[in-house]
Structure 1
Amino acid sequence: MDQTGYVTNKNSRPGLAVAALSIGTALNPLNSSMIAVALVVLREDFSLDVATVTWVITAFYLASAAGQPLMGRLADRFGPRRLFTFGMALVAVTCAIAPFLPSFALVCVARALMAVGTATAYPCAVVMVTELSRLANEPTTRPLGRIQMANTSAAAVGPVVGGLLVSLFDWQALFVINVPLALAALLVVQRAAPADTGQETGSLGKLIRDSDIPGILAFVVSLMLAMMALLNVMPGFRWHLLAAAVVIAALFAWRELRFSPPFLDLRLLGGNRPLLLIYLVFIVFSGVYYFAFFGVPQLLQEAGNYDAGLVGLLMLPLASLSVVVTPFTVRLMERFGVRAVLITGVCVLTIASAALGLLTLSLWPPLVLVVTAVMGVPYGAVSTASNQALYVSARPEERGVAAGIFQTCRYLGAITATVLIGVFYGPGVNQANWGLMVWVMLALSLVVIVLSVMWKKPAAGTSHL
């Protein structure tokens, strides 16, 4: 056993293990995006209205956002390979059963369970990166870059894959496709990744007592209530949900400051300035990105009268270029450092946001292709640099829960963007209102620049490493 807490296994194949972890990590963004093309079919099959059918998306978002930090904490405590295996098994079993479920409510439950299972992958991958990069004799930027590339490409191809599956088969295929992917990831990680050792052991009763169950429940409930308020899933009760979320969050903080060991050590988190800054960077950055990702398609369909197929093709360069940029970002970080690449990426974000303002003048398809593609550059660069900044900012024993919170930051940014898009597009989806959103994107881009300049990699030997 080495100092990282893993057994040095001659059979470990780090490259293969990273590939399997990347597949597992890709399942969450893949399933969050490809379901969008099945909403009409689900409405017809279950005789639903528009508001009800969106719960198939909401259930996945809520479970993912709340599940990521929890899965990260469990990975820190009990070992990433064990938890990854559990998560992929849960996905495989759930997705094998889901096509035969008789009601829409049960389909939503299956989506939530699938979200919990896929939520294990990214935190487990981050926890395993140190040992896998050591075994491969390469810097951690490279495996993290491959994992980020899987995240990005899955989100890009999700609508395309979903459209093909639904058109060739039916909505049930969106579940079935996950079964072989999850099983492949599970089996390869079991064979190629180093075994977990050094994690918590003891009687079941002691492990439960030390798990801070009330703290976990308070965290999950407060986050879910806040997300439900942002998503406005219960019209007329938004402020009640938000108030309840604040009260439960306060009780959670009171509990965590007094319980040992806490689910989330707020004192250490509060004292880790680099980690808090990178969370803020990623929330605001995600908000800017999802303004474009969700706002432009609506503009093209409503104001440009483009059909959904053409809109999908026009948006593809945004996601595709972000995938292409990722490996170059990894090389630049190795040469110039994380901070320099992060700051450069967010400066390009500001330029890309300004370029999207050209859509207030014209929705000419070639122009749309160019300006959306430009947004793909900062998405690939900033996402990859933020991943590495998270890794170096978090303490090794808390990288799992830190990675889970990082993913939740993505959801917070995305949901905030959708809420604001609803506000600006409320009077009408037109180029004038899109112009107002561009000004908001520019303002948020400047905030991201300031936060990125404030972030600095912790020095070796500090409490953050």
Structure 2
Amino acid sequence: MTPSDDSARPRPRPRTGAAVAALSLGTLLNPLNSSMIAVALVPLQHDFEVGVTAVTWVITSFYLASAAGQPLMGRLGDRFGPRRLFLFGMLVVVLACVLTPFSGSLAAVCVGRVALAVGTATAFPSAIALLRPLAATSGVGTPRLLGRIQIANTSGAAIGPVLGGALITFLGWQSIFWVNVPLALIAFAGVWFFAPRTAEKQERTPLARTLAESDIPGILLFVATLTSLLIFLLDLHPQPLWWLLPVCAVAAVLFVWRELRTAHPFLDLRLLAANRRLMLVYLSFAIFNVVYYSAFFGLPQYLQTHGGYSAGVAGLLMFPLAAVTIVVTPLAARAIESVGLRPTLIAGAVALVVGAALLAVAAATTAPWVVLLLTAALGIPYCVVSIGMNQALYSAARPEDSGVAAGIFQTSRYVGAIVATTVLGLLFSGGATGSSWLAAVAVATALAVVHLALLVFVRPGRTRPQGASEPAAG
């Protein structure tokens, strides 16, 4: 072996490890900022002297931008290269998180959250696109590299409430923006120095074609439909804005018309119409996320306003809801392999009904040990149903539609989160009291029952043989 060969072989592995670590850190930022905000809503209410319905836009704006941004960023990555897109996204995150803490209004904070969502939306599609050249240069399998990125997503959601609560307690709500700055800069540096540049040298799609295939009119109509509906629902009191209903209806009709006519739709409605099982997977997953995010965003508000806990303590009490997923997810994967997908999904759905109903106990007592048990109990169905629905998507979608199917799957997650925050904004409009919490629990439990009933009609089939391509990340 020549000296040059000897020096060339060990280099790719440390470089690959550093590149994957940087990509994982960037990917972590979206779920981290999704979950950190859960304990910041009450402080934001107090600082800007706004109600619950107004402060929910801090969450909703982030999810609207994420739902629209993920598919668009993926296509822009094809045009400009995933490495360049990732670096650009991290700079957007830094700029947004440096400026937003100095906002003088809640509207400005929402604008900052939109910019943060757009910046973090570049990370996941860029990371997925860079996995292939990383695997080729290192000899490490793509599934193993993808697994590391998926762990980062789970960890980001898990540590969000705890980290956010600690930061807000000692430094104020502004710190949940500032903390992104060093993280984004580290991710930027890691990708700048260690990620392969080969993907940037490939033949690029013309910009005009990229924009045409991104279906920007469809994205704008989708956002207009959801935004007009949400504003109408959140402003029911004291006087409904009735003119928004025809605006919503027109935007919805134009959206459907656009998606049925364009060759590259944002949401492939023909795909949904032709695949009933896939449509039921999306519907079930969206309803599941309404239940989950109702607890994830509603409980911290209730603990702070009704239970008298600080943001830091509320964050610690929320930790089991997400942290349990790290332990139970491998067990759920084994259960799918051993007993099958359908029994595992139904068991998770039953546990979701039980977990949602148990949240009513918090109306009687918010003792710390009780809240810890309640959040842990809800964390179990979260990971079981999440991994099960990912596999159901994989089984229901045709191989040639896997990319589009995975994109719509992510959109259904965001829609579920948006609906959850809207419901909470309506129910908590008079304050997060014991009675309003019971109402939120009743809605969540009823939807959990609907989710269980829908799974009776979902026929995901058998899991694919070992060695088949991995299901879409979720």
One of 116, 121, 124 as aligned partner of 2:123: 121
Structure 2 vs 1, CA of residues 247 and 69 (structure 1 numbering), >3 Å: closer, same or farther?
farther
1:165 aligned residue? 167
2:83·2:195 contact (CA, 8 Å) conserved in 1? no
Deviation at 1:375, TM superposition (A): 0.7
Structure 2 vs 1, CA of residues 307 and 213 (structure 1 numbering), >3 Å: closer, same or farther?
closer
> How far apart are the structure 2 equivalents of 1:156 and 1:353?
19
The answer as to 2:221 corresponding to 1:218 is: yes
Please give the residue correspondences for 1:376-455 in structure 2 after superposition, counting only pairs within 5 Å: 376-391=379-394, 393-394=396-397, 402-424=405-427, 431=434, 434-435=437-438, 437-453=440-456, 454-455=458-459
The answer as to 2:336 corresponding to 1:343 is: no
2:7 aligned residue? none
1:76·1:398 contact (CA, 8 Å) conserved in 2? no
Where 1:250 maps in the other structure, the secondary structure is helix
Deviation at 1:247, TM superposition (A): 1.6
Structure 2 vs 1, CA of residues 18 and 244 (structure 1 numbering), >3 Å: closer, same or farther?
farther
> How far apart are the structure 2 equivalents of 1:442 and 1:43?
27
> How far apart are the structure 2 equivalents of 1:386 and 1:18?
26
> How far apart are the structure 2 equivalents of 1:90 and 1:351?
42
2:257 aligned residue? 254
Deviation at 1:276, TM superposition (A): 2.3
Please give the residue correspondences for 1:355-366 in structure 2 after superposition, counting only pairs within 5 Å: 355-359=358-362, 362-366=365-369
Task: Give, as a single letter, the amino acid of the residue that structure 2 aligns with 1:151.
Answer: N
1:89 aligned residue? 91
Deviation at 1:379, TM superposition (A): 1.1
Where 1:136 maps in the other structure, the secondary structure is coil
2:45·2:55 contact (CA, 8 Å) conserved in 1? yes
**Alpha-carbon displacement from aligned partner over 1:376-434 (angstroms, at most 9, x marks no partner):** 11112222333444455556676555444333323322333344345555677555664
1:78·1:199 contact (CA, 8 Å) conserved in 2? no
1:126·1:391 contact (CA, 8 Å) conserved in 2? no
Deviation at 1:248, TM superposition (A): 1.3
Query: Which is further off, 448-457 or 199-208?
Result: 199-208
> How far apart are the structure 1 equivalents of 2:157 and 2:62?
15
TM superposition score normalised by structure 1: 0.77
| Structure 1 stretches lacking a partner, 5+ long | 1-9
Task: Give, as a single letter, the amino acid of the residue that structure 1 aligns with 2:413.
Answer: R
1:72·1:402 contact (CA, 8 Å) conserved in 2? no
1:137 aligned residue? 141
Query: Which is further off, 451-460 or 176-185?
Result: 451-460
2:291 aligned residue? 288
**Alpha-carbon displacement from aligned partner over 1:40-87 (angstroms, at most 9, x marks no partner):** 776787x65457666544433332233234334545776655543432
> How far apart are the structure 1 equivalents of 2:90 and 2:22?
11
1:456 aligned residue? 460
2:56·2:422 contact (CA, 8 Å) conserved in 1? no
Structure 2 vs 1, CA of residues 164 and 437 (structure 1 numbering), >3 Å: closer, same or farther?
closer
The answer as to 2:26 corresponding to 1:24 is: yes
1:18·1:143 contact (CA, 8 Å) conserved in 2? yes
Where 1:456 maps in the other structure, the secondary structure is coil
2:318 aligned residue? 315
1:289·1:379 contact (CA, 8 Å) conserved in 2? yes
**Alpha-carbon displacement from aligned partner over 1:166-221 (angstroms, at most 9, x marks no partner):** 45445544333223322333444463468548988454444445544433332333
Structure 2 vs 1, CA of residues 158 and 73 (structure 1 numbering), >3 Å: closer, same or farther?
same
Structure 2 vs 1, CA of residues 223 and 198 (structure 1 numbering), >3 Å: closer, same or farther?
farther
1:269·1:275 contact (CA, 8 Å) conserved in 2? yes
Query: Which is further off, 164-173 or 309-318?
Result: 164-173
Task: Give, as a single letter, the amino acid of the residue that structure 2 aligns with 1:136.
Answer: V
Where 1:324 maps in the other structure, the secondary structure is helix
Where 1:257 maps in the other structure, the secondary structure is helix
Deviation at 1:297, TM superposition (A): 3.9
1:177 aligned residue? 179
Where 2:331 maps in the other structure, the secondary structure is helix
| Structure 2 stretches lacking a partner, 5+ long | 1-10
Structure 2 vs 1, CA of residues 279 and 229 (structure 1 numbering), >3 Å: closer, same or farther?
farther
RMSD across aligned positions (CA): 4.2
> How far apart are the structure 2 equivalents of 1:431 and 1:104?
27
Deviation at 1:345, TM superposition (A): 2.0
Deviation at 1:251, TM superposition (A): 1.1
**Alpha-carbon displacement from aligned partner over 1:261-286 (angstroms, at most 9, x marks no partner):** 44443323432334322221221111
> How far apart are the structure 2 equivalents of 1:199 and 1:337?
42
One of 66, 69, 73 as aligned partner of 2:68: 66
Query: Which is further off, 217-226 or 113-122?
Result: 217-226
Query: Which is further off, 262-271 or 303-312?
Result: 303-312
> How far apart are the structure 2 equivalents of 1:268 and 1:299?
40
> How far apart are the structure 1 equivalents of 2:260 and 2:87?
32
Deviation at 1:289, TM superposition (A): 1.6
> How far apart are the structure 2 equivalents of 1:198 and 1:298?
49
1:4 aligned residue? none
Structure 2 vs 1, CA of residues 380 and 173 (structure 1 numbering), >3 Å: closer, same or farther?
same
Structure 2 vs 1, CA of residues 143 and 76 (structure 1 numbering), >3 Å: closer, same or farther?
same
The answer as to 2:383 corresponding to 1:374 is: no
**Alpha-carbon displacement from aligned partner over 1:280-299 (angstroms, at most 9, x marks no partner):** 12211111222322344455
